[in-house]
């Protein structure tokens, strides 16, 4: 965990993600990425020179078979406030609308519910669990499916909602996340969603895996190019041009 904490701290400092006095909500889906983000920031908040507070926030979509009670217990052990918001997203997407491509609508409804909850609690900053591999995959998805060079930014200010999104796990590789989740015995909530895994991201993940046998440093080269080029918002120290 010390290695991951070091990577998270470096990412936070490289992109000036956290200021003194911040309250940072961590969007907890129940997956390993968001739970590790929560764990890392909760630990970082204990010694980081800029004091900040961490809260956990979950949008409970009403998906059958999903329970976040274990996450609630974990938050109590961490000493972190846990905000749970119930929204009938599963019912709308799968039972009422019967969406053939449900992921986009589901994500939109979750973002809306999350934004509303943050506004109600006066929170202006949220940490998302995207890691190193997610960034590389998103870059390739943008190139292959949209014909452009693009990716989410390490820090994104949403002017419409006055919320800042940060992604402190960006220097942490997926294999490190997997290993840490096992070692820490994180209370992962399995996702029984019918559309889980049936996405374009999964296609790109499989494509990268097929190429890494011949080009083992492929992800490193792509990630490095995103910072050196840089993509907008990816220049370390604000070097975006």
pLDDT, one tens digit for every residue, the chain (241 residues)? 999 999 999 999 999 999 999 999 999 999 999 999 999 999 999 999 999 999 999 999 888 888 999 999 999 999 999 999 998 888 888 878 777 777 778 888 888 899 999 999 999 999 999 999 999 999 999 999 999 999 999 999 999 889 999 999 999 999 999 999 999 999 999 887 766 655 788 899 999 999 999 999 999 999 999 999 999 999 997 666 4
Looking at the chain, how many residues does it have? 241
Report the distance separating Cα 137 and Cα 41, nearest Å.
24
User: Is the full-model pTM beyond 0.85?
Assistant: yes
Report the distance separating Cα 15 and Cα 9, nearest Å.
10
Residue 241 resides in a domain: no
- Domain hosting 90: range is 2-235
Residue 166 resides in a domain: yes
**Residue 50 is part of a domain; what is its CATH number?**
3.40.50.620
Report the distance separating Cα 154 and Cα 234, nearest Å.
7
**CB-CB contact of 116 with 104 (8 Å):** no
């Amino acid at each position: 965990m010390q290695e991951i904490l070091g990577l998270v701290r470096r990412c936070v400092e490289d992109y000036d993600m956290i200021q003194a006095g911040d309250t940072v909500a961590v969007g907890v889906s129940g997956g390993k990425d968001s739970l590790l983000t929560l764990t890392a920031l909760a630990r970082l908040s204990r010694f980081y020179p800029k004091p900040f507070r961490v809260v956990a926030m979950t949008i409970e979509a009403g998906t059958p078979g999903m329970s976040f009670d274990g996450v609630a217990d974990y938050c109590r052990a961490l000493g972190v406030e846990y905000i749970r918001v119930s929204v009938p997203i599963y019912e709308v997407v799968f039972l009422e609308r019967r969406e053939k491509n449900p992921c986009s609508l589901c994500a939109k409804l979750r973002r809306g519910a999350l934004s509303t909850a943050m506004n109600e609690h006066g929170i202006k900053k949220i940490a998302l669990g995207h890691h190193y591999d997610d960034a590389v995959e998103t870059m390739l998805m943008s190139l292959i499916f949209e014909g452009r060079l693009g990716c989410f930014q390490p820090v994104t200010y949403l002017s419409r909602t006055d919320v800042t999104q940060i992604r402190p796990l960006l220097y942490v590789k997926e294999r490190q996340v997997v290993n840490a989740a096992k070692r820490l015995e994180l209370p992962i909530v399995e996702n029984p969603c019918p559309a889980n895994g049936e996405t374009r991201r999964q296609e790109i993940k499989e494509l990268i895996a097929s190429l890494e046998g011949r080009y083992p440093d492929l992800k490193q080269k792509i990630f490095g190019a995103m910072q050196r080029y840089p993509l907008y918002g990816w220049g370390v120290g604000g070097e975006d041009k």
